[in-house]
Each structure stands twice: as structure tokens, then as C-alpha cells.
Amino acid sequence: MTSTSHHHDLRAQLEHLTTEAFRPELSEIDRLPTAEIARLMNGEDTAVPAAVAERLTEIAAAVDAVAARMARGGRLVYAGAGTAGRLGVLDASECPPTFNTAPGQVVGLIAGGPEAMVTSVEGAEDSAELARADLDALALTADDTVVGVSASGRTPYAIGAVEHARALGALTIGLACNTGSALAAAAEHGIEIVTGPELITGSTRLKAGTAQKLVLNMLSTITMIRLGKTYGNLMVDVRASNAKLRARSRRIVALATGAPDDEIEAALAATDGEVKHAILTLLADVDGPTAARLLEDSDGHLRAALAAAKG
């Protein structure tokens, strides 16, 4: 295929994507007052949660499949280019402080590597080979999950990641913002959130990016809830690595136990600042080492450990 016919082909493809559609009624948006542009943009954004709501069944099925694998020691790997890749890296980087996940348990791969977080790496998104190499560097197994993320649903890097992961027996999820996408078709779990044409034609960091952020938040958060990383709606696996988090740790123990401050301080001191362990020592009236053993036997699920302690 000559490069001109290839370019023409790509152009024809883009014309059929909802995310790339041109909206003539907005063609004079630059002449509007700033407050009016802000109102229009905000109105556009309100449609995003509703678009996500349409796909909750698929999202929940994907979460259950991810949790089953992660419970066996598998990893959650996001793969995308540009905005989609950055959102994956963002979500992955926030899991250790929130849920005390081990480094490498949730991974964000971005086409072009770390420098692509801050600059655009030309051509990286067009390479399925690059995705395969990035996944091979992780030594992927069948217990891992790979989530390809792409607004258009046709980015070679995201599709390549999903196809390679699936061939290795890993769980695959394809998150796109157009229906009938090659990405969703390539994955075992296809999630297509249709957010429609953007305010600025083809600027998928807007509504499509917001939708991806919401879905990735759901995938990681609900998976962590399923894995026992929370107790009710409390972040009991939080790692106290700074003053704010130490204060939050004390507050979480207080909310979970209702114990007085001096007892909370003593419990945290006895369990080396581990919130989950501290709660267990207070609620089950056991010492630190016993709390650690009960939690280990319960795979870290605090409710199960409490039930066992009260046995």
C-alpha cells in the first residue's frame, strides 16, 4: 500500500468514528463569550457518567474476572497511547498509596515509555510490536490481566497489547469510546463507552478521556474492594508514608473501632502502623502477632479475620 493510499484509508476510517465526528453547530465556538464556552463544555461533560452507566454490566463482569486472577497473585496491566496511556499510568501509580498494593501489582504501560507521559512520542501508538515488547518485559502469565485503552478503539499499540496478552492466556479487557471497535472485538471483555463527538473535533482527551478515567477508577477500586483491601468504605490498607496519611490512619482506626485516642495510638504502635492489624487488635482483643497471623490466614480480608477471631 502506498503511503498516500494509506493516509487516505486512515482518513476514511476516522470519518466513521463517532469520537472524531465534526459538529457544524460548534464551528463558531471561538466567537462565543468565555462563560458560554464553559457552559457548553460543562454540558457536554454531564453526558459522560450516563454513557458509563450504559455499560455497568460489562464493567462488573470484567471486575469479577480481574479480582479472581489477582487473588491468585496476578497483575493488572493497563496499556494505551497518549491520553489513554497517561490515564492508565495515573491509575496504576495511585494504587500503592491507596490500597498498599505491591509495586508492579498494577502497572501502566504507555506507548513510547515514560517520556511519553510528558511529551508526545511520534509513531509509538502505531506499533503493535512495541506493545508486545513492553508486555514481554513484564513476563506476562495467565493470571495477569491486560486492559487495552483507546478512545478510537483502533490504536495499534492497545490492540497489539490485547492480542498478545490473549495469546499468552491472560485475561483481556478492551476499553474504547466507539461501538464496533477492533479493540473490544480483540478482547475477552469489550467495554465500549460511547461519549459522542467532542467539543473540539477529535480531541478525545475531553469526554472520552473523562470516561476512561471513570472506568479505570472503577476497575481498580472495585477490584481492590473484592480483594479485601477495604473494610466497608474505609481504606484500611493505606500505607502511612507521610503526616497526612498517619493522621488518616488514626482516623480510619477510630471510625472502624470507636476506640479512644490513647488505645488507637497503642494499637498502631503495636502493629507497626498497619491500620488493618491495629483494627483487628482492638475489635478482636488480640495482640499484634495474632492479628498478623489471622490476616494472613484470611488472605488479608479483615471481615474474614474478625469472624475467625470471634470463631
Across residues 185-210, what is the average pLDDT? 97
Query: Annotated catalytic, 188?
Result: no
CA nearest neighbour of 90 among 196, 265, 216 = 216
Does pLDDT of 2 surpass 60? no
DSSP 8-state class, residue 169: T
Q: What is the rounded end-to-end Cα distance, in angstroms, of the chain?
A: 70
As a whole number of angstroms, the distance between CA 252 and CA 108 comes to 29
Query: Annotated catalytic, 94?
Result: yes
Does pLDDT of 5 surpass 80? no
Would you state the pLDDT for residue 296? Answer: 95
Contact 219, 198 (CB under 8 A): no
10 Å CB burial of residue 94 (0-12, 13-18, 19+) is: middle
CA nearest neighbour of 257 among 283, 238, 235 = 283
CA-based torsion, 71, 72, 73, 79: positive or negative:
negative
Across residues 19-36, what is the average pLDDT? 95
Across residues 203-232, what is the average pLDDT? 97
Q: How confident is the model at residue 7 (pLDDT cuts 50, 70, 90)?
A: low
The domains found in the chain, sorted by start residue, are: 47-226 (3.40.50.10490), 243-310 (1.10.8.1080)
Residue 171, CB half-sphere, CA atoms under 13 Å: how many? Answer: 21
Q: Which amino acid is at 89?
A: V
Does pLDDT of 230 surpass 80? yes
Q: What are the two backbone dihedrals, phi and then psi, of residue 172, each rounded to the nearest 5 degrees?
A: -130, 140
As a whole number of angstroms, the distance between CA 193 and CA 200 comes to 19
Cα–Cα distances in Å, from 75 out to 68, 292, 301? 11, 24, 18
Q: How confident is the model at residue 244 (pLDDT cuts 50, 70, 90)?
A: confident
Residues 20, 44, 125, 163: which is the catalytic one?
125
Strand order in the sheet with 76-80: 106-110, 76-80, 145-150, 171-176, 189-192
- In the structure grid, which three cell numbers stand for residue 115, read together? 517520556
- H/E element holding 89? helix 82-99
Contact 199, 26 (CB under 8 A): yes
The 10s digit of each residue's pLDDT in 263-307 is 999 999 999 899 999 999 999 999 999 999 999 999 999 999 999
The 10s digit of each residue's pLDDT in 37-78 is 999 999 999 999 999 999 999 999 999 999 999 999 999 999
Looking up cell 476516522 gives 14
DSSP 8-state class, residue 59: H
Would you state the pLDDT for residue 8? Answer: 63
The 10s digit of each residue's pLDDT in 81-120 is 999 999 999 999 999 989 999 999 999 999 999 999 999 8
Does pLDDT of 3 surpass 60? no
As a whole number of angstroms, the distance between CA 134 and CA 147 comes to 13
The 10s digit of each residue's pLDDT in 150-183 is 999 999 999 999 999 999 999 999 999 999 999 9
Would you state the pLDDT for residue 11? Answer: 74
Strand positions, DSSP E, the chain: 76-80, 106-110, 145-150, 171-176, 189-192
With vertex at residue 103, the alpha carbon angle to CA 175 and CA 308, rounded to the nearest 5 degrees, is: 95
CA nearest neighbour of 99 among 210, 209, 245, 213 = 245
Between 194 and 241, residue with greater pLDDT: 194
Contact 240, 96 (CB under 8 A): no
